[in-house]
Amino acid sequence: MTTERRIPFSTLLRVETRKLLDTRTSMIMTGILAAVALALVAGRGLFAGPADLNTLANTAGIAMGVLLPVLGILTVTGEWSHRTALTTFTLEPRRGRVLAAKCLPVLGAAVLACLAALLVAVPMTAVSAAVRGVEATWGLDPARLLGWTAVAVLSTAEGLAMGMLLLNAPAAIVIYLVRPMLWGFVTQLGPVGGTLAEWLDLNTASNALMDGNMGGGDAVRLAASVAVWVVIPMAVGVLRVLRRDVQ
Amino acid sequence: MIEFHRVTKTYNGAKALDEVSFAVPPGTVTGFLGPNGAGKSTAMRILAGLCRPTSGSATVLGRPYAELERPGYDVGTLLDAGAQHPGRSGREVLTLGAMMLGLPRSRVDEVLELVGLTGKEGRRAVGGYSLGMRQRLGIGHALLGQPRALVLDEPANGLDPQGIQWMRGLLRGLAGSGCAVLLSSHLLYEVEQVADRLVMIGGGRVLAQGTLAELGRGRSLEQTFLELTSHTDRSPA
How confident is the model over A7-60, as pLDDT tens digits? 999 999 999 999 988 888 778 877 887 788 778 877 777 777 666 787 777 777
Residue type, A110: A
Average the pLDDT over each of A112-116, B82-86, B173-177 and give the range with the smallest value.
Answer: A112-116
> Any chain A CB within 8 A of the CB of B50?
yes
Phi and psi dihedrals of A156, rounded to 5?
-65, -40
CA distance B51 to chain A (A): 4
B35 pLDDT band, cuts 50/70/90, is confident
Residues facing residue A52 across a β-bridge: A137
Average the pLDDT over each of A5-19, A34-48, A173-187, B67-81 and give the range with the smallest value.
Answer: A34-48
pLDDT confidence of residue B218 = 58
CA distance A246 to chain B (A): 5
CB atoms within 10 A of CB B164: 17
Provide the CB-side half-sphere exposure for B121 (13 A, CA). Answer: 15
Determine the Cα–Cα distance for residues B170 and B114; give it in Å rounded to an integer: 9
Determine the Cα–Cα distance for residues B41 and B45; give it in Å rounded to an integer: 6
Average the pLDDT over each of A120-134, B60-74, B168-182 and give the range with the smallest value.
Answer: A120-134
State which residue of chain B sits closest to A79, comparing Cα positions. Answer: B85
Determine the Cα–Cα distance for residues B169 and B25; give it in Å rounded to an integer: 19
> Any chain A CB within 8 A of the CB of B61?
no
CA distances (Å), B108 to each of A110, A188, B155, B191, in order?
A: 32, 59, 20, 29
Please give the radius of gyration of chain A, using alpha carbons only, rounded to the nearest integer.
20
For B56, left (φ over 0), alpha (ψ -120 to 50), or beta?
left
- What's the pTM? 0.90
Determine the Cα–Cα distance for residues A142 and A118; give it in Å rounded to an integer: 12
Does the pLDDT of residue A156 top 70, yes or no?
yes
pLDDT digits (tens, 9 = 90+) for B41-61: 999 999 999 999 999 999 999
> Any chain A CB within 8 A of the CB of B1?
no
Q: Pick A83's closest partner by Cβ from B80, B101, B125.
A: B80
pLDDT confidence of residue B237 = 45
Determine the Cα–Cα distance for residues A41 and A33; give it in Å rounded to an integer: 12
Determine the Cα–Cα distance for residues A155 and B200; give it in Å rounded to an integer: 52
Residue type, B130: S
ipTM for the complex? 0.92
Determine the Cα–Cα distance for residues A69 and A99; give it in Å rounded to an integer: 16
Q: Are B216 and B195 in contact (CB under 8 A)?
A: no
Report chain A residues whose CB lies below 8 A from the CB of B48: 90
Distance of CA B224 to the CA centre of its chain: 22
Q: Pick B71's closest partner by Cβ from A11, A82, A93.
A: A93
* Mean pLDDT for all residues in chain B: 92
pLDDT digits (tens, 9 = 90+) for B197-221: 999 999 899 999 999 888 876 567 7
Determine the Cα–Cα distance for residues B114 and B143; give it in Å rounded to an integer: 9
CA distances (Å), A42 to each of A14, A49, A122, B6, in order?
A: 33, 10, 11, 66
CA distance B106 to chain A (A): 17
Pairing of strands B197-202, B180-185: unpaired
- The percentage of residues in chain A with a pLDDT greater than 90, rounded to a whole number, is 41
Does the pLDDT of residue A1 top 60, yes or no?
no
Report chain A residues whose CB lies below 8 A from the CB of B82: 83
* Mean pLDDT for all residues in chain A: 87
Average the pLDDT over each of A110-124, A159-173, B76-90, B169-183 and give the range with the smallest value.
Answer: A110-124
Please give the radius of gyration of chain B, using alpha carbons only, rounded to the nearest integer.
18
Listed in order, strand segments (DSSP E) in B49-204 are 55-60, 75-78, 149-153, 180-185, 197-202
Provide the CB-side half-sphere exposure for B94 (13 A, CA). Answer: 34
What are the residues whose beta carbons fall under 8 Å from the beta carbon of B195, sequence distance 6 or more? B28, B29, B30, B31, B183, B212
CA distance A247 to chain B (A): 8
pLDDT confidence of residue B232 = 59
Nearest alpha-carbon partner for A55 in A211, A202, A177, A182:
A211
Does the pLDDT of residue A136 top 90, yes or no?
no
Determine the Cα–Cα distance for residues A16 and A151; give it in Å rounded to an integer: 23
